[in-house]
Homo-oligomer: A and B are copies of this chain.
Amino acid sequence: MRITWLLGQLRFNRQGLIPAVIQDARSKRVLTLCYLNRQALTRSLAEGKVYVFRRSQNRLMLKGETSGHIQRIRQVHVDCEGKSLLFLVQQQVAGCHAGYFSCYFRRLGARGTLVVRERRVFNPKAVYR
């Protein structure tokens, strides 16, 4: 794949990152928003699994490397300005480290509070020791 050409189409920010929306290919639910640098994108495309650049640890990380809840890439889309990506993925188990399928498990309710409307898929304490 001509990764060099693709990288040239994208506009990474000053920190060398580009945001990627991760959407479950089957349910179409939005799972999370993550950030990739050039190296993370290159490796994601080479392996077909989402790698991110974790700023807090300053390193490349396979999404799900601890939990095994990896995201297999089915489609990659680029926005009109080359400033963000959209990955359609096959999510293993769940996408959120809090134990929910999507990181967006809290919804703003009519009273202005955040309401959890879904069940946990796994127990984080058992998965992340």
A residues touching B (Cβ–Cβ < 8 Å)?
Answer: 1-3, 5-6, 9, 19, 21, 23, 28-30, 32-33, 45, 75-81, 83-84, 86, 96-98, 100, 103-108, 111-114
Contacts and interface: CB of A to CB of B under 8 A. Distances in A.
Given A19-B19, A21-B21, A114-B9, A76 B108 contact: yes
18 contacts: A2-B112, A3-B112, A5-B113, A9-B114, A19-B19, A21-B30, A28-B29, A33-B84, A77-B104, A77-B105, A77-B106, A77-B107, A77-B108, A78-B108, A79-B104, A80-B97, A80-B100, A80-B103
Nearest to A33: B84
Contacts of A105: 77, 80
